[in-house]
Structure formats: C-alpha cells, structure tokens
Chains A and B, each alone.
Chain A
Amino acid sequence: MKSKLLSFPYILCMIFLVIIPLLLIGYYSIIDFDGNLTLNNFSQVFEPMFLRIIWRSIRLAVISTAICFVIGYPIAYILASRDFVKKSFLLFLFIVPMWMNFLLRTYAWLTILENNGIVNTIFRALGFDGFQLLYTEGAVVLGMVYNYLPFMVLPIYTVLTKMDNSLLEASADLGANRRKTFTKVVFPLSIPGVASGVTMVFMPSVTTFVISNLLGGADFLLIGNLIEQQFFRANNWYFGAALAVVMIVIILVCNTFVTLFDKNDDNEREAKRKHEKA
C-alpha cells in the first residue's frame, strides 16, 4: 500500500510527460489540417525525397556507431586493464569535455574545420591546397563520433572492469595467450556492454539535428532536421508527427535487435532459477 502511494507522483509524471505526448504524436500523425482521419502523412513519408533523408540518417548513424566502436573499444580496454596505473586520471580527462555544453563543443569544430580554420591553415602552411571540410557528410560523422564516443566507451569500460579476473587466469592456465583469451573469453563476455554502447550512440546519432545543422550546413537534412522543420517552420505538425512515429519505429527495431544479445543471457538465468527450485 505504502509503495503504491510513493509511486503515485512518478506515475503522474509519466502520464503527463510521456504517455500523453506519445498519444498526441500518434493522434497528430493520422489526421490532416481539417482534423479528418487520414494515412496521407505516412504515404508522404515514403516519397523518394524523404526516404532518401531517412536512409541518409540511418546510414550516417550506423557509420558513426561503427567508428565509435572501433575507436571506443580499445580505449575502454586500455582504461580497464589492470596494469594501467594512471587510469583514473585518464578516465577523468576523457569525461571532462562532457562537462562542457554540447553546443559549444560542436561550435568549436566549426572554427577548426572552416575554410580558413585551423586544419586548412596548417595544410596551406605545408604547401597543400585547402580542403572543403565543413558542410560535408564527413564533418557530420566527425561531430557525431566526437560527441557520442564517451557513450560507447563507458558501458564497455564498466563491463570490462567488472569481469572476474579468475576467468582470465583460467584461460591463461588452460594455455591461451593474450590474444586467444581476448577473442574467446573477454570479447564475447563484453558484448552486453557493446550492445548498450551501440544503443547509446546510435539513438542520439539517428535523431540529431544540431550536429547536422552546424557541421552539415542549412541544407544538410537528416530526419531530425526534417521533423524540426515541420514543427517550427513549415508548421505542418501532422507530417512532423508521422515522421516522428517512423523514427520511433526505427529506434525500436534497432533496439530490439541489439538487446537480443542480453535476452539470451536472461533466458539462461531463468533456466537456472527453475533448475534450482526443482
């Protein structure tokens, strides 16, 4: 009874801040300007122009997530290794940029990448031609990787530091060298961390509109920019809501796919529980 009472404010918050807005988005996505039920908003989403933008969003998010994984896993591994003494300081250095405002951090890249920015100045000083760096797909991917890399590193780091050291000793005892121990024991066991890292990088990457806007330019549209435009400029909430629903579906599908890894684990635990009861 008491716990029910305590949960009441949370339930209220959830209803007003999550459930009602979601229902409203769902509602707006299936009506037109006159308030009639329609599926036109959704058929509009699947027009080639918008499909291209959705495809680009997914593609860039996948590329960013992959790069974050390739850079982030070794960082997490080095940070988590036992013989690395200064690791708390390095971890600190790694987290410090996150204390700064997200917009500021992204703006900083503007001055680095622009035509007369730091990178191009250095290139010219070395006798090369300048490059168009800003307002390219590469700049957007760079922005995503830079901003979301810690979300990949931290969950993997956590899984690796919690790993039972005797597993590594057992592997060494049974004849595996460090590389074999990594491929056969460490990496398979760190997959839950990789899964949450992938989710935590992929989701903000696929929905971002700030990074694409600043580093991709005003004409560089991702699904997030499209939604923003529909709500704030085109004033077409109905189409915007339909886009939002499609995005939620994309995220849900990706999420289910990723959590499949953890599911296997849960099933086994469930089986063990039953076994012990019997």
Chain B
Amino acid sequence: MEENRLINLIDVSKTFDGYTKVLDNINLYIKKNEFLTLLGPSGCGKTTTLRIIGGFETPSSGDLLFEGESILGLAPHKRRVNTVFQKYALFPNMNVYDNVAFGLNIKKVDKNEIKKEVSRMLELVNLNGFEKRSVNSLSGGQQQRIAIARALINKPEVLLLDEPLGALDLKLRKEMQIELKNMQKELSITFVYVTHDQEEALTMSDTIAVMHGGIIKQIGSPEDIYNEPKNAFVANFIGESNIISGVMHKNYEVTFAGHTFPCIDKNISEDTNVDVIIRPEDIKIVSEDMGQLKGVVKNVKFLGIHYEMHVEASEFTWKVQSTVLSPEGSNVGLTVAPDLIHVMKKDEVIAKEEADEE
C-alpha cells in the first residue's frame, strides 16, 4: 500500500495573508499512474492544492512527500512534475516549435535530439506540421494541446492540469476529455486534474477528491462518489439529489417527511438528526394508494432521455426522473427502495484512509 504512494500530502494547511484559510489539514495521497481529480466549486482550495504540488505555493504547515521524501524545499523545475496552466501560458513571443522545445533548450539538450522530441510530442497531440506557426494564430483547443506537449516533453512523472478544458466549447471539451484519458494511459504517468465540472471528473478519473471550503469532503472512485455520497455537500454537488432532514430512530429505520421508511443503514445512534439523500431517478411514481408518500405533480420538464417532474408531497417538493410521463396536476404516490435511501450524519467528512478500509 505505502509503496504505491507517489505523492503524499500530510496535514497540509494554507493560510493567505495570515487569516484567510484556504486549505485546512489536507491529507491526500496519489498513487502511481493514477488519474486523480480534485473537484469542487471555485474557492474550494483545489487549485491551491495543485499549486502546492507544482511548487508555486508553499503550505503554511504540513508536508509534501514525493516517493516518501519531502520536496517542499525544491523549486518547481527540480520536482518531477510539470504543469499545464489554466490559460495555457504559452510564450507569445515564440512559435510552436520554440514553445514545445523550451524545457529541452533550457537543459541544453542536443539540437537534433530536441528536433526529434518536438516532432514526437506534436505527433502525440496531433499537431504535426505546426512547428513554424505563431501560438497567437492557434485556436483555444490547439493552444491547449501545445501546452500539454510543452509540459510532457520534460518527461514528468506527474502532470498537473489546472482546469485545462475550461475555455473550450462543449464538443471540443468532450473530445479532449477522451484524448487526455487515452494520453494518460498510453504514457502511463500520473495525472492530477483540477476541475469544477462534475461530469468531466466522473468521465475521466480513477479517483475523485471532492473539496469544499478547504477540506476534502469525500474521496473515492467515480462510482463510489456518485452512488454512495458520504454527505449532503457531495450528494448535491455530484449529480442531482433530493436532500431532506430526517431522524434515525433505530437501525434500518429513518423518519422524514412525516413518514418512517425502511433503509439499510445501521450503527447510527438513536434519535440522531441526519440528512437523507435520494437521487431523482431512484424515486418511483406509483398509483396514489400504493405510495409511501402521496402528492401532486406540480410541473413537468421533458429532458430528452426522461421527464423531470416536481412532485409536492408532505410539504416537500421532490425531484423525480422517469421515462413515463405523469401529467401535471395528477395525484400520484411515491416509493423508494430501502437501498436507495442514503442516510448520513449531518456534514460528515471522510478521509481516504477510512474509505479504503471499508
């Protein structure tokens, strides 16, 4: 287990200007060849975490290990990581060739070797023949590829990417997601990826760390994060959810919306206040007398693959997704299977260590 840890953040905190706490005791490890995504809304600390790994920011406390050794004192270029910056940060005074060759030129590598490496890199990002072009004449997607080529030519063991697809349009973004993922597999290096786009994170990552307010709210595989959110924040941030307060009276029984439901959660002490989270696609619409809850359909949206209906029942508006239409104004019943009711203590945070032990 331990030997797989390529990068390890231990109790890392970061305070700006002496009082703004952006990172609060982050513990995180990144395995070799892992595609790890730091996911969260803006201001959650994900970019700061990346910049600490890259060497552009020093933590206020804590340690950063690379293969077990602290690299906090090392300058960015002495770390075996390279960064792809948010706005690409290509050098506008150089053409494509000189941008990609920059790292090798600095290292004074043999000119012929550089030439070979640059064309290999441009091939990798599908931009061969662009050597002489000015970077200002490239489209956003092409600039992005050059930025990746410029970072990869230094053969980093870890590539850090800071919202690299943020400026691209949807179609191009989807293409680049697949391309990046393939690139990572092909080169078999570690990617640490920062994004606020949950779909992007779910598509590309081996592991997702959901961050909020300077702490890691949950870390795990995309499936874990989506199917078993550990707290209301994660449930709300990843996908859509109905979140309602409830009380856990005893094992396998939770009360919310004025009704007691069977569930599969246990070992929560009696009469604990909890958040109950139910995905819209997990609620079934049945005839009124069959439902655990009875309600009225308030409005209906057609979203292509399914309908989204807002059903008012027990003074709560439930978001329900179904391929079967229940017309507006109709009286319906709602049921949820016990294993699809997610019960969590209010604001629970889970560390990677704990998640692994489960």
A residues near B (Cβ < 8 Å) are 164, 166-167, 169-176, 180, 184-185, 188-189, 268-269, 271-272, 275-276
Residue of A with least CB distance to B83: A173
- For B76, what are the chain A residues with a Cβ–Cβ distance below 8 Å? 169, 172-173
18 contacts between A and B (CB under 8 A): A164-B87, A167-B89, A169-B54, A169-B83, A169-B85, A170-B89, A170-B150, A171-B102, A173-B56, A173-B82, A174-B154, A175-B77, A175-B154, A189-B93, A268-B136, A272-B136, A272-B137, A275-B138
Q: Is B86 an interface residue (CB 8 A)?
A: yes
- For A272, what are the chain B residues with a Cβ–Cβ distance below 8 Å? 136-138
- For B226, what are the chain A residues with a Cβ–Cβ distance below 8 Å? none
A268 CB to nearest B CB, Å: 4
Interface centre among A164, A173, A271 (most CB of B within 10 A): A173
Give complex CA distance A175, B92 in Å.
Answer: 18
- For A268, what are the chain B residues with a Cβ–Cβ distance below 8 Å? 134, 136-137
Give complex CA distance A59, B85 in Å.
Answer: 46
In the A-B complex, the 5 residue pairs with the smallest Cβ-Cβ separation, listed nearest first, are A174-B103, A175-B77, A166-B89, A188-B93, A170-B89
Contact bitstring B70-110, A, C-beta under 8 A = 1, else 0: 00000111000011011101111100000000110011000
Contact A276 B102 (CB under 8 A): no
Give complex CA distance A170, B82 in Å.
Answer: 9
A117 CB to nearest B CB, Å: 47
Residue of B with least CB distance to A276: B139
Q: A164-B87, A166-B85, A185-B93 are in contact. Are A174 and B75 (CB under 8 A)?
A: no
Interface centre among A170, A180, A189, A268 (most CB of B within 10 A): A170
- For B75, what are the chain A residues with a Cβ–Cβ distance below 8 Å? 172
- For A169, what are the chain B residues with a Cβ–Cβ distance below 8 Å? 54, 56, 76, 83, 85, 89
- For B90, what are the chain A residues with a Cβ–Cβ distance below 8 Å? 170
Contact B137 A271 (CB under 8 A): yes
- For B154, what are the chain A residues with a Cβ–Cβ distance below 8 Å? 174-175
Give complex CA distance A170, B151 in Å.
Answer: 9
Contact of B137 among A166, A184, A275 (CB under 8 A): A275
Give complex CA distance A166, B143 in Å.
Answer: 15
Give complex CA distance A188, B93 in Å.
Answer: 7
- For A164, what are the chain B residues with a Cβ–Cβ distance below 8 Å? 87, 89
A167 CB to nearest B CB, Å: 5
- For B103, what are the chain A residues with a Cβ–Cβ distance below 8 Å? 174-175
Give complex CA distance A268, B89 in Å.
Answer: 17
Contact bitstring B46-76, A, C-beta under 8 A = 1, else 0: 0000000011100000000000000000011
Contact bitstring B139-173, A, C-beta under 8 A = 1, else 0: 10000000000110010000000000000000000
Interface centre among A175, A189, A269 (most CB of B within 10 A): A175
Interface centre among B85, B93, B138 (most CB of A within 10 A): B93
- For B107, what are the chain A residues with a Cβ–Cβ distance below 8 Å? 175
Contact B150 A166 (CB under 8 A): no
Give complex CA distance A184, B91 in Å.
Answer: 9
Give complex CA distance A173, B151 in Å.
Answer: 9
Residue of B with least CB distance to A164: B89
Contact A271 B89 (CB under 8 A): no
Contact of A271 among B86, B106, B134 (CB under 8 A): B134
B83 CB to nearest A CB, Å: 5
Give complex CA distance A176, B134 in Å.
Answer: 21
- For A167, what are the chain B residues with a Cβ–Cβ distance below 8 Å? 89, 91
Q: A185-B91, A185-B93 are in contact. Are A173 and B136 (CB under 8 A)?
A: no
Contact bitstring B192-212, A, C-beta under 8 A = 1, else 0: 000000000000000000000
B94 CB to nearest A CB, Å: 8
- For B102, what are the chain A residues with a Cβ–Cβ distance below 8 Å? 171, 174, 176, 184
B48 CB to nearest A CB, Å: 14
- For A188, what are the chain B residues with a Cβ–Cβ distance below 8 Å? 93
B100 CB to nearest A CB, Å: 10
Contact A175 B83 (CB under 8 A): no
Give complex CA distance A268, B93 in Å.
Answer: 11
A194 CB to nearest B CB, Å: 13
Give complex CA distance A164, B195 in Å.
Answer: 21
Give complex CA distance A164, B85 in Å.
Answer: 11
Give complex CA distance A149, B137 in Å.
Answer: 36
- For B136, what are the chain A residues with a Cβ–Cβ distance below 8 Å? 268-269, 271-272
B88 CB to nearest A CB, Å: 8
A15 CB to nearest B CB, Å: 38
Residue of B with least CB distance to A271: B137
- For B87, what are the chain A residues with a Cβ–Cβ distance below 8 Å? 164, 166
- For A185, what are the chain B residues with a Cβ–Cβ distance below 8 Å? 91, 93
Q: A269-B136, A272-B136, A276-B139 are in contact. Are A172 and B77 (CB under 8 A)?
A: yes
Contact A275 B139 (CB under 8 A): yes
Give complex CA distance A272, B86 in Å.
Answer: 20
Residue of B with least CB distance to A170: B89
Contact of B106 among A176, A269, A276 (CB under 8 A): A176
Interface residues of B in 104-138 (CB under 8 A from A): 106-107, 134, 136-138
Contact A174 B106 (CB under 8 A): yes
16 more CB-based (< 8 A) A-B contacts, given A175-B77, A175-B103, A272-B136: A167-B89, A167-B91, A169-B56, A169-B76, A170-B83, A170-B90, A173-B54, A173-B77, A173-B82, A174-B150, A180-B106, A184-B91, A184-B102, A185-B91, A189-B91, A268-B136
A77 CB to nearest B CB, Å: 17
Give complex CA distance A167, B92 in Å.
Answer: 9
Residue of B with least CB distance to A274: B137
A191 CB to nearest B CB, Å: 8
A266 CB to nearest B CB, Å: 10
B187 CB to nearest A CB, Å: 18
